[in-house]
Structures are given as C-alpha cells and as structure tokens.
C-alpha cells in the first residue's frame, strides 16, 4: 500500500482545497481497483485524502455490504453510485441487488455498458430500453434510480441511421440517468456537450475524462485537451442537473504505477478550476 501514501504532504494539500468549491466530487474506483481488492479500507481513506467527497464502485457485489458501509463511514466518504453489471438487474437477482445497495446507502445503479450487438440495430436498442424502463420502475419503489453509461459505440449509427444513445434516451423515462462520459464519447465521435443539452436533467451523475485527438496521454488542463471545461461546467450546472461529478482518470504514462497520484492531481485541478463557479 505504499503507493497510496506517496508524497503525502501534497495529498493533504488537496484537502485544503475542498472548501474552495461546493461542487460535489467523486471518483470511480476503477483506476485503483487492484489496491481496493487488497485493502479496501485504506484505499478509501487515501481517496478521501486525495480530495474526494464520494466514490462510485463498479463490477460484481464482491465485498460484503456491511464491510463496504463501514469502510465508507470510516473514510468519511459518501457513495455516488455503482456501475452494476446488467445481470445483477435481471428479474431473478434485482431484489438481492436492491437489498445490498440499501445497506451501503447507494441510490444510483448505473448500467456500465452493453455489447455492440445490442447497440447495432434500432430494434435491439428498443428492447434494451424496454428492459431498462422495467429496472427503473422497480428501483423507484425503493427510492433508487438506474442509468446508462456511454463508451464510444453509442455514437455509431444503427441500421436506421439513429444513434443508440438517442434511441435509449428517447424510449426510457426521464428518471433514467444518461451518464455522460465526455472523454469516452468524444473518442467515439459523440457530441457530448450537445447531448447534455439535448436531454436536460438526465445528467444526474457524469464522468469527467479528458480527451485529445491522437494521444491518450492528456490531462484536464493540458493544451491538447479538446474539451472546453468552462462551457462544460456551465451546461452541467444549468441544464444537465448534475449531482455528482465523477472523475475517472487512469494514465500509466504520466503516473506510472501510481494511479492514486493521478486521482489526487485530478481532484486538485477540479477544485481549482471550479473555485469561482
């Protein structure tokens, strides 16, 4: 666990920046998945020190729910969601999934992806939207919401020329979160800023990830980052209805073998950039 606490002084500097902005900041735990598997409690503590208010988990429900809740409380973190595999939301498993999330206090159960073949045709997208609507209606009875997270395939036209993202958004209730991952989407050719405006109020949680044409080695503040962050935050605050900004940053070129440092620097950028918003 040594890497979690490398350069500890500058990590603590991040905490002093928290008061600079009230915008709620979370991180997806995927970049530190290996550390989390080895030592969940200390990994969550390190995330808090790095400057975050909350975390979003991913994958199967592999940790006992009570252990997750105790570790979150110990670290002083909230939970901003869980990227929940589709099979955990199937009729035969959804109620056990709901019970698990009740214990940990999670409201947002987001579907992280669907296979390319599901997104290839209008008919298959409509079928998925119908299933997702059932999930949304079921979760609503327990005060929870579902959502759908994009990668790049959602912006490749279907057999009818429509985008899967549009078909899913237009055929699910407005309570279904369309979790806009700006970096993933731009990589796939999506007009991510335009889509936040097109579906107002449906960006309850969003993923912040930098994007640059031609290289994966970019950072939020780099000149080669193609995202206008000023416009982005304006849209998020005035139209998208964002409750959680979720950093997902993993760059082994810039932060080799130290994903936590990448998360800390990302939080520092976020707090600084949004200080006057």
Per-10-residue mean pLDDT of the chain, 277 residues long, equals 36 44 90 98 98 98 97 98 98 98 98 98 98 98 98 98 98 98 98 98 98 96 98 98 98 96 98 93
Domain boundaries, the chain: 2-273
CB 93, CB 120: distance < 8 Å: no
Secondary structure (3-state) at 56: strand
pLDDT attached to residue 22 = 76
CB 47, CB 11: distance < 8 Å: no
pLDDT attached to residue 59 = 98
Secondary structure (3-state) at 118: helix
pLDDT attached to residue 274 = 96
CB 255, CB 236: distance < 8 Å: no
- The class that CATH gives domain 2-273 is alpha beta
pLDDT attached to residue 115 = 98
CB 83, CB 95: distance < 8 Å: no
The single residue listed with the structure tokens 């609507």 is 133
The single residue listed with the structure tokens 């002083």 is 76
């Amino acid at each position: 666990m040594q890497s979690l606490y490398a350069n500890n002084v500058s990590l603590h500097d991040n905490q002093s920046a928290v008061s600079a902005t009230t915008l709620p900041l979370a991180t997806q735990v995927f970049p530190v998945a290996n550390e989390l598997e080895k030592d969940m409690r200390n990994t969550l503590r390190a995330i808090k020190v790095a400057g975050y208010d909350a975390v979003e988990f991913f994958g199967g429900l592999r940790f006992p729910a009570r252990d997750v809740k105790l570790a979150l409380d110990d670290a002083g973190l909230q939970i901003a969601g869980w990227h929940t595999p589709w099979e955990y939301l199937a009729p035969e498993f959804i109620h056990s999934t709901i019970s698990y999330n009740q214990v940990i206090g999670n409201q947002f159960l987001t579907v992280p992806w669907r296979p390319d073949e599901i997104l290839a045709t209008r008919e298959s997208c409509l079928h998925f939207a119908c299933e997702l609507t059932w999930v949304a209606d079921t979760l609503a009875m327990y005060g929870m919401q579902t959502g759908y997270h994009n990668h790049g395939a959602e912006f490749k036209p279907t057999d009818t020329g429509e985008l899967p993202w549009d078909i899913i958004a237009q055929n699910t209730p407005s309570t279904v979160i369309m979790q806009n991952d700006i970096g993933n989407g731009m990589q796939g050719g999506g007009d991510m800023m335009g889509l936040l405006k097109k579906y107002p109020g449906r960006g309850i949680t969003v993923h912040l990830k930098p994007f640059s044409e031609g290289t994966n080695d970019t950072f939020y503040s780099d000149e080669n980052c193609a995202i206008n962050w000023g416009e982005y935050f304006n849209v998020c605050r005035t139209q998208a209805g964002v409750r959680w900004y979720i950093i997902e940053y993993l760059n082994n070129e810039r932060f080799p073998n130290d994903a936590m440092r990448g998360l800390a620097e990302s939080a520092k950028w976020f707090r600084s950039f949004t200080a006057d918003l």
